[in-house]
Structure 1
Amino acid sequence: MSPVSPHSGFVDRQHVGRRFARVAASYGEGDFFAREVDRRMQERLDFVKVEPKRILDLGCSRGGSFPGLSARYPDAELIGLDVAPAMLSAGRIPRAGWQRWLGIGRTVEPLRLAADAANLPLKSRSTAIVWSNLLLHWLDDPIPALAETHRVLEVGGLLMFSTLGPDTLKELRAAFADGYAHTQRFADMHDLGDMLVGCGFADPVMDMEVITLTYDDVDAMFAELRAAGSSCAMKARRHGMTGRKSWENGKVAYEAMRKDGRLPATFEVIYGHAWKVEPKKTPDGRAIVRFDLPRKG
């Protein structure tokens, strides 16, 4: 039985799509954090032995992970999937620029699909790697997306992802503690590991690091979050304008956290990977026993 997610029913999915659609045209100027996490994820592939024929980038936005994946796996078909069609369109480049952008040798532009991560338009066991950079915390519930990922992976296939953990933007939550949500709800690393096992993955490996960004002031921080499409999309967020008094109180509380002349913003980055293996049980719970027949001759 799959674990029950504590996140179900809390995220405003339409708001997520609207926010990322709104910043799609200029996202290349605001996605430096996503690109840095992507770079660190790609370094982890140095320790993975796999020769994929197809890679699915789940939550690809404008396709920022494509160049690195293409350079590492030049013979693999790349598919990018995102919920915001505007992101997919903004990432397209002229045909003459494909090879220069994706790396010498590639002649086919990655296929881009607008779809829900919980309902992938791909056949079962059709993909060797599912790559997902900073997507899961935007989902109302990670479990359906993880289950779909498991379905489309071939046996021996790899899921590699990053997401944000509970300490992310802890300063912001503490400063604006007014009863409204000001950040996403972030799953704990160990809960994500349990979700992976519950969805059928084997031997999940999880690790975490803390990245602290600093700002001149609160306004600069919010401007950067908005440029990256990273405003709060929880249903419990404040839907109207923040009152002047609440805003000023929050800024004063955040100012008290200033260190060395700068305001900190913590990001807990969780990295995970897991493999799809042959199932040990049928969907109705019966054990599968495999017999290797002796070779003739």
Structure 2
Amino acid sequence: MSFGFNLDKHKIKQAFSQSVLTYNDVTQLQRTVGKALLQHIKLPDVTDTLLDLGCGTGFLTAELLTLLPCERMIALDMALPMVQAARLKLRNFDNVTYICADAQQLPIAEHAVGHVFSNLMLQWCVDLEAVFTEIRRVLKPGGQLVFSIFGPQTLQELKQAWAVVDNYNHVNYFYSMSELEAFLRQAGFTILKYERQSYVSSYESVLVLMKELKQMGAHNVNGGRNKRLTTKNQMQNMMAAYPKCIDTDRILATFDVITLVVRA
């Protein structure tokens, strides 16, 4: 099953590897969403092995370790610099295993994990259906996957502004709820809970927004994007088309967040 645009896996890995030094400075949204994700955890049920899928620099991993009495935590990310940063951050915890791997090919035994948590990472997966199948494989029967993912209205203002300039995909494709539901059911999951919330961030300018997206590793990694360099004139036209706040010169950016709790 295939939806949306093809993502370039190499560029995704490269982007997050290069952003490790600036990632913590520009990820307030990820932290806010991550803390909200913790509210979906039933504490008495989480005691065995946990997997933080897409651990990044270890923020959510640290929160999970502090909150939950788990026997073992697996911190996994496809970007080695992120795994190294997480290891440094979590050096005082002795029950963490660090893995650099692709979520589509998890080096974890079948039915070895009780719970999987993933915060704003799964939208970067090239084959999300395959990733859900892998997560289902490593989860114990009845185990839960709790995750947040960017929805289709994410960066809608930036998409609209670029649409004035040309027909290329300048912004990443984000899956709809119906697409996610199809992937999950195909992988054998039962959906227990679904929430959706829009977060709106304010920026001094479009350039500041684009710089932040690059610093967090979340700039355009679509395989079908324009291969030519964007001209100065095209960039100026896009920024002129970007909607401005009525009472200030600042601009707003929407981040559409879908949160799901599913059971294997």
Q: 1:7-18 maps to which residues of 2 (within 5 A)?
A: 7=4, 10-18=6-14
Q: In the aligned structure 1, how far is the partner of 2:191 from the partner of 2:151?
A: 20
Q: Cα distance, 1:26 vs. partner? A: 2.7
Q: Any conservation in 2 of the 1:78–1:111 contact (CA below 8 Å)? A: yes
CA contact (8 A) 1:210 1:268 kept: yes
Instruction: For residue 5 of structure 1, report the CA deviation from its aligned partner.
Output: 2.9
Bigger Rg, which one? 1
1:133-172 correspondence to structure 2 within 5 Å: 133-172=119-158
What is the number of equivalent residue pairs in this alignment? 261
**How much does 1:207 deviate?**
1.4
Q: Distance in 1 between matches of 2:152 and 2:132?
A: 19
In structure 2, the residue matched to 1:232 is 220
Query: How far, CA to CA, are the matches of 1:235 and 1:196 in structure 2?
Result: 24
2:244 paired residue among 257, 272, 277? 257
Cα distance in 1 for partners of 2:95, 2:20 equals 19
Q: 1:238 deviation in Å?
A: 2.7
Gaps of 5+ in 2: none
CA distance in 2, matches of 1:200, 1:49: 25
Secondary structure at the residue paired with 2:45? coil
User: What is the SS of the residue equivalent to 2:132?
Assistant: helix
SS at match of 2:201: strand
User: 270, 275, 286: which is aligned to 2:263?
Assistant: 275
Question: Structure 2-normalised TM-score?
Answer: 0.93
Match of 2:116 in 1: 130
Indicate the larger mover: 186-195 or 120-129.
186-195
5 Å-filtered alignment, 1:201-240, equals: 201-240=189-228
- Take 2:44 and 2:2, find their aligned partners in 1: how far apart are those partners? 32
**CA distance, structure 2, for counterparts of residue 134 and residue 51 of structure 1:** 21
Using the TM superposition, give the Cα deviation of residue 48 of structure 1 relative to its aligned residue in structure 2, in angstroms. Answer: 6.2
Question: Post-superposition shift, 1:109?
Answer: 5.0
Q: Which residue of 2 aligns with 1:283?
A: none
For 1:203 and 1:32, locate their aligned partners in 2 and report how far apart those are by CA, in whole Å: 28
Instruction: Report the TM-score, using the length of structure 1 for normalisation.
Output: 0.83
Distance of 1:60 and 1:233 partners within structure 2: 20
Q: Partner letter of residue 2 of structure 2?
A: S
User: Equivalent residue of 1:252, what SS?
Assistant: helix
Q: How far did residue 268 of structure 1 move?
A: 0.4
Percent of paired sites with the same residue: 29
User: Is the contact between residue 127 and residue 154 of structure 1 (CA under 8 Å) also seen in structure 2?
Assistant: yes
Tell me the alpha carbon deviations over residues 15-68 of structure 1, each in whole angstroms, 9 at most, x when there is no partner: 0011111111232212222111101101222x5651331000111111111121
Unaligned runs of 5+ in 1: 100-105, 277-297
Q: Does 1:86 align with 2:73?
A: no
- Describe how 1:242-253 pairs up with structure 2 within 5 A: 242-253=230-241
One-letter amino acid of the counterpart of residue 156, structure 1:
G
The 4+ residue runs of structure 1 with deviation greater than 3 A are none
